[in-house]
Chains A and B, each alone.
Chain A
């Protein structure tokens, strides 16, 4: 009994929730979250393609769902996830070359990733509305 208790209550190393969020940490988490979200989001792309290949009627049905308000909100989120993951990925590719690692620069890059992803997302939707 006593032994089992000791095993059950032994201290664990601290995890995410005890740290104060900092930009590089938040972007790192968002990189994984956006990647995981798009893992399932790509289902929509595949569905859209299969719908188009299935004929006009099913394509119209698919488009009606994607262009509904909930559909558009999901697609807007998908666009942002894609842009954020792309910019975050470019950041990682730069780091792979050994550059831009120091504290101030990496924090600026983290902010640039966030601001850039929001900016590109808005730009894409303005273009989509204009086309």
Chain B
């Protein structure tokens, strides 16, 4: 006989109260990352070593700037989820774990805001 309440069964969130959300978001960003990775590789290969003016001209195209914003957002979300799993797997001291999980969020947001601002600035003409 199950001891779970009817509401608990319907919500399906389990003891961590998160359900399969982490898994699902990890997969959604993984699928998005495949085309976005190919886009990023193509862009970097075609821009690497080019003049600063060429970078400005390329990123002033909305499609390129939007593609780069999507790439950074999806990749950063994905890697934040991944690092969260790594921390939870290997760090067992509660205090250190919480600090590292906070640091994980700070790190990904800092990179995301920096890259996002740079992309927008370049997109709007440098």
- Which residues of A are found within 8 Å of B122, using beta-carbon distances? 49, 52-53
The answer to whether A131 touches B45, judged by C-beta atoms less than 8 angstroms apart, is yes
Task: Tell me if A35 is interfacial: C-beta within 8 Å of chain B.
Answer: yes
The answer to whether A42 touches B79, judged by C-beta atoms less than 8 angstroms apart, is yes
The residues in B between 45 and 72 inclusive whose CB is less than 8 angstroms from any CB of A are: 45-46, 48-49, 52-53, 55-56, 59, 68, 72
Q: Tell me the complex Cα distance, A46–B41, Å.
A: 14
CB distance from A28 to the nearest CB of B (A): 13
Q: Tell me the complex Cα distance, A67–B72, Å.
A: 22
Task: Tell me if A32 is interfacial: C-beta within 8 Å of chain B.
Answer: yes
Task: Tell me if B19 is interfacial: C-beta within 8 Å of chain A.
Answer: no
The residue in chain A whose Cβ has the minimal distance to the Cβ of B80 is: A39
Task: Tell me if A1 is interfacial: C-beta within 8 Å of chain B.
Answer: no
- Which residues of B are found within 8 Å of A60, using beta-carbon distances? 52
CB distance from A128 to the nearest CB of B (A): 5
The answer to whether A124 touches B118, judged by C-beta atoms less than 8 angstroms apart, is no
- Which residues of B are found within 8 Å of A52, using beta-carbon distances? 52, 55-56, 59, 118, 122
Task: Tell me if A50 is interfacial: C-beta within 8 Å of chain B.
Answer: yes
| Chain B contact residues: helix, strand, loop or mixed | helix
A-B contact count (CB 8 A): 79
- Which residues of A are found within 8 Å of B59, using beta-carbon distances? 52
CB distance from A44 to the nearest CB of B (A): 10
The answer to whether B79 touches A86, judged by C-beta atoms less than 8 angstroms apart, is no
Question: Given A124-B45, A131-B46, are A53 and B82 also a contact pair (CB < 8 Å)?
Answer: no
The answer to whether B45 touches A127, judged by C-beta atoms less than 8 angstroms apart, is yes
Task: Tell me if B114 is interfacial: C-beta within 8 Å of chain A.
Answer: yes
Contact of A50 (CB < 8 Å), options: B34, B49, B56, B118: B118
The answer to whether B41 touches A124, judged by C-beta atoms less than 8 angstroms apart, is yes
- Subset of 5 A-B contacts with CB under 8 Å: A36-B86, A49-B114, A50-B114, A53-B122, A56-B52
The 10 closest A-B pairs by CB, nearest first: A53-B118, A49-B118, A56-B52, A46-B115, A53-B121, A50-B118, A128-B45, A59-B52, A52-B55, A46-B111
A residues apposed to B, CB below 8 Å:
32, 35-36, 38-39, 42-43, 45-46, 49-50, 52-53, 55-56, 59-60, 63, 66-67, 79, 82, 86, 89-90, 92-93, 96, 124, 127-128, 131
